[in-house]
Amino acid sequence: MEQGYVYHNGKKLRKGYTTGSCATAAATAAALLLFHDEEHESVNITTPNDITLHIPIETLERDEESATASVRKDGGDDADATHGMLIYVTVKKLSTPDILIDGGVGIGRVTQEGLLEPVGFAAINPTPRQMIETSVRQIIGPNNGAEVIVFAPEGEQIAKQTMNGHLGIVGGISILGTTGIVTPMSEESWKSAITIELEMKHKQGLTSVVLSPGNYGEDFAVNELHIPSDKIVSMSNFVGYVLKEVQRIGFTKILMVGHLGKFIKIAAGIFSTHSKDADARTETLIANLALLGMPVPDLKRIEECKTTESAGDIIEELGYEQVYQIIADKIQQRSSRLLKYGEPEVAIDVVLFSSKRGYLASTRPVAELMEEWQ
């Protein structure tokens, strides 16, 4: 792997830097200007893995009491919602030797227990806080103090495109990063956000959780099953990862709610359900319909269908709807088998639906599940 690049599916992709690195660089430039009268067009910062990043400074200004610098977020070739936004830091001198770090406009505030920062604090995670403090301390020395305010004018609007709302972070973005570097296509930050949400709910006292692949599953759970949204976590395509995290964190009961087109892959033992990893929807459906005795000419009709929704028309026409119950049961069995040798024991139920037909099947009577999970 070349420095600053990573290869994924044969493509050379450029790495970027996190919001935490942006804030650290802006704090560094502002502190250098305020305490040493040094104006820098770029600064070097050190990541937690001792890698030096050279980050350009977008703006830099000073008044009598403070200095402010900004950095434009560069996510490399793995651009997310925060890519291209400006992250500002204002540094002021303190009469005490402390370094106080807080968030201003556009930086979210923690409103629920269970996150890494206490309720009421700015959503600036421990690693970025440490990066900022270390860098500023090196500049100002042991006997001086500074107040460091991180802000992002676009933060509140951009946060609507992130998972912050699910995490109880309101008013803006989070300042994140465990390594300081964004690695393209790693998916690690996405998985980490899901883990944070699960850990938060567990710390709040929940021992059961509803898992869905995304908005369709969540909408069905809320609007059709009448399950409170605060019990639901989106696992995206990372089914196996999330199931194991649920067990590791200590949940003992799961309800999986999902569209047939996504969940049928789990029935075949596919636990990373993105199409780039695997797509055996049609083959899985054909295999189970064949076991029910569907004639080969009709199986060939199913094979020609582009979606499980269109296959559903043929299934309904020929009276093979019992296949949905078989698939739901197999999803439960596969998921339980994945967690078989771990602790604690996790009870799993499944609800399947389709966009056209609504509810299809569940591993227990749906009325019983609705009553249990409300």
How far is CA 363 from its chain centroid?
28
Look up residue 160 and give its DSSP letter.
G
Look up residue 1 and give its DSSP letter.
-
Mean pLDDT score across all residues of the chain: 89
Q: What is the mean pLDDT of residues 71-91?
A: 84
Q: What is the mean pLDDT of residues 30-50?
A: 93
Dihedral angle computed from the Cα positions of residues 118, 123, 128 and 129, in that order, rounded to the nearest 10 degrees = -50
Same domain for 217 and 327, yes or no, is: yes
Same domain for 256 and 284, yes or no, is: yes
SS3 137: helix
Number of compact structural domains in the chain: 2
Q: When comparing pLDDT for 197 and 137, which is higher?
A: 137
User: Does residue 75 contact residue 129 with C-beta atoms inside 8 Å?
Assistant: no
Q: What pLDDT shows up at residue 181?
A: 66
Same domain for 248 and 153, yes or no, is: no
Residue ending a domain, among 182, 201, 223, is 182
Q: Give me the CATH number covering residue 50.
A: 3.30.2110.10
What are the b/e assignments for 323-345, b being 16+ CB within 10 Å? bbebbbebbbbbbeebbeeeeee
Same domain for 331 and 215, yes or no, is: yes
Look up residue 63 and give its DSSP letter.
-
Same domain for 88 and 17, yes or no, is: yes
Q: What is the mean pLDDT of residues 126-154?
A: 96
Q: What is the mean pLDDT of residues 316-336?
A: 97
Res. 30: pLDDT tops 50 = yes
User: Please, which residues bridge with residue 86 across strands?
Assistant: 72
Identify the domain containing residue 135 by its residue range: 5-182
Same domain for 197 and 332, yes or no, is: yes
Same domain for 194 and 158, yes or no, is: no
Residue 269 to residue 237: CA distance in whole angstroms:
13
Q: What is the mean pLDDT of residues 104-124?
A: 90
User: What DSSP letter does each residue of 247-286 carry, written as one string?
Assistant: HHHT--EEEEEEEHHHHHHHHTT----STTT---HHHHHH
Same domain for 54 and 176, yes or no, is: yes
Residue ending a domain, among 129, 155, 182, is 182
pTM listed for this prediction: 0.69
Same domain for 196 and 176, yes or no, is: no
- Dihedral sign from CA coordinates of 227, 233, 234, 240: negative
Same domain for 88 and 9, yes or no, is: yes
Same domain for 164 and 204, yes or no, is: no
Residue ending a domain, among 130, 149, 182, is 182
**Of the candidate ranges 193-197, 217-221, 285-289, 296-300, the one whose mean pLDDT is the lowest:** 193-197
Strands 347-354, 253-259: pairing kind: parallel
184: preceding bond cis by omega (within 30 degrees): no
Same domain for 160 and 222, yes or no, is: no
